[in-house]
Amino acid sequence: MVFVLCDKNTARYCYPVIKSKLPIHERIIISAGEKNKSLQSAGFIWNQLTERGTGKDSLLINLGGGMVTDTGGFAASVYKRGIDVVNIPTTLLAQCDAAIGGKTALDFKNIKNIIGSFHFPVAVLIEPAFLKTLDKRTLLSGFAEMIKTAIIADKKLFRKLSNTEIIPQQLQPLVSRAVRIKQNILKQDPFDLKTRQALNFGHTAGHAFESLMATRKDYLLHGEAIALGMVAESFIALNKSLITVKELNQITDLISHHFELPHIAEADFDKLFSLMKQDKKNRKQEIRMALPEGIGKVKINTKVQPDIIYSAFQYCNFALHS
Ligand code: GLY
């Protein structure tokens, strides 16, 4: 049996575009939005699969952004100990990052991606036309992961992004470049034991910002949180003499040019710090980050002291709001 998992948005805007090209299938539709990257959604999928007597030889096609590919990927990875998955990512963020590389995840107790598995899709099919279904805010969220890719691995791409407009025609040709960079990193370390952690630059602080704001009116999209996380972590990289002031300014300027990021209230600093202590890269209760080494290289597993982290929050406020 073949199932196509959509959220309410992709069911409406993307499914009709490719419906006729899909094999005979049944649809499963979940609610949209990060708050539905939950055990409840996974339970709903398992329920649908079980009720239809789905066998281990079945296929789940995830049609959506990172929320759908993460949730569907996780549900498929444990249903009968694993059924095959194909990802058809519909957002820029999922096309460049989330749908590639076999990481699946759910949020739990308001902590990002804390439940998850590795379950490599048998194929990832990227349809550029889907970028035209996205609003500017959603495109920008994906652009943040492109900036991350450039900072850790490709200085020329960073220069190019500095002159790119946030429109599908200009972004689409850059998707394959971002995918190739990610694939090269995955080849060396598919299970995130070491070098793949490079892809997590901006995410230690970024996931904390995303979790903190998740239940608030001014919640952040994943890429927005990562953009703020990259500003904070680049300051930490300067502090560790991994980048120069000029490079920190280049990164901060590119991000502040595109993103309107929130001021971080001092009252939230401790909560952010405790969220960062949940990060999967940490060892022996110490916070470890992947930090840029210049622009185009990265240093993984770098131990970071609490006081630098608090200074980094202050730097974000100073650099983005003064
Ligand atoms: N998004 C980070 C990774 O795939 O490793």
Q: pLDDT digit string (tens) for 174-204? A: 999 999 999 999 999 999 999 999 999 999 9
CATH of residue 239: 1.20.1090.10
Measuring CA to CA, which residue among 214, 206, 194 is closest to residue 186?
A: 194
* 255 Cα: distance to centroid of ligand 1 (angstroms): 20
Counting atoms of ligand 1 from 1, which one is nearest the CA of 182? 4
Q: What is the pTM (predicted TM-score) of this model?
A: 0.94
Residue 310 pLDDT class (50, 70, 90 cuts): very high
Q: What does the pLDDT read at residue 114?
A: 95
Determine the number of helices (DSSP H) and then strands (DSSP E) in the chain.
13, 9
Reported residue count of the chain is 322
Q: Does 103 lie in the same domain as 81?
A: yes
The domain tally of the chain equals: 2
Residue 215 pLDDT class (50, 70, 90 cuts): confident
Cα-Cα-Cα-Cα dihedral sign, residues 297, 90, 71, 138: positive
Using CA atoms, how far residue 318 sits from 25, 203, 229, in Å, is 53, 20, 14
Residue 290 pLDDT class (50, 70, 90 cuts): very high
CATH of residue 117: 3.40.50.1970
* 182 Cα: distance to centroid of ligand 1 (angstroms): 8
Nearest residue CA, atom 4 of ligand 1?
101
Partnered with residue 29 across adjacent β-strands are: 6
Select from 114, 132, 150 the last residue of a domain: 132
Q: What percentage of the chain exceeds 90 in pLDDT?
A: 98
The yes-or-no verdict on residue 81 having pLDDT over 90 is: yes
Q: What does the pLDDT read at residue 88?
A: 98
Helix axes 245-258, 136-153, angle to 10 degrees: 160
Distance CA(72)–CA(32), nearest Å, equals 13
Q: Where are the beta strands (DSSP E) in 122-203?
A: 123-124
Select from 199, 281, 298 the residue to mutate for testing ligand 1; criterion: most ligand atoms less than 8 Å from CB.
Answer: 199
The yes-or-no verdict on residue 284 having pLDDT over 90 is: no
Q: How many C-beta atoms surround the C-beta of residue 111 within 10 A?
A: 16
Distance CA(231)–CA(240), nearest Å, equals 14
The stretch 203-224 carries a mean pLDDT of 95
Pocket of ligand 1 (CB under 6 A): 97, 101, 103, 192, 196, 199-200
Select from 78, 106, 132 the last residue of a domain: 132
Nearest residue CA, atom 5 of ligand 1?
199
Q: Does 306 lie in the same domain as 204?
A: yes
Q: Which domain holds residue 294?
A: 136-321
Q: What does the pLDDT read at residue 1?
A: 96
Nearest residue CA, atom 2 of ligand 1?
199
Q: Helix, strand, coil: what percent of the chain each, to 5?
A: 55, 15, 30
Contacts of 305 (CB under 8 A, 6+ apart): none
Measuring CA to CA, which residue among 126, 255, 226 is closest to residue 178?
A: 126
Q: Does 111 lie in the same domain as 143?
A: no
| DSSP one-letter code for 128 | G
Q: pLDDT digit string (tens) for 10-41? A: 999 999 999 999 999 999 999 999 999 999 99
Q: What does the pLDDT read at residue 322?
A: 84
Counting atoms of ligand 1 from 1, which one is nearest the CA of 97? 1
Q: What does the pLDDT read at residue 246?
A: 98
Q: pLDDT digit string (tens) for 116-167? A: 999 999 999 999 999 999 999 999 999 999 999 999 999 999 999 999 999 9
Mean of the per-residue pLDDT values for the chain?
97
Select from 113, 132, 151 the last residue of a domain: 132
Q: Does 189 lie in the same domain as 105?
A: no
Q: pLDDT digit string (tens) for 52-71? A: 999 999 999 999 999 999 99
Phi and psi for 17 in degrees, rounded to 5?
-70, -35
* 77 Cα: distance to centroid of ligand 1 (angstroms): 17
One-letter amino acid at 118 equals: F
Counting atoms of ligand 1 from 1, which one is nearest the CA of 98? 1
* 203 Cα: distance to centroid of ligand 1 (angstroms): 10
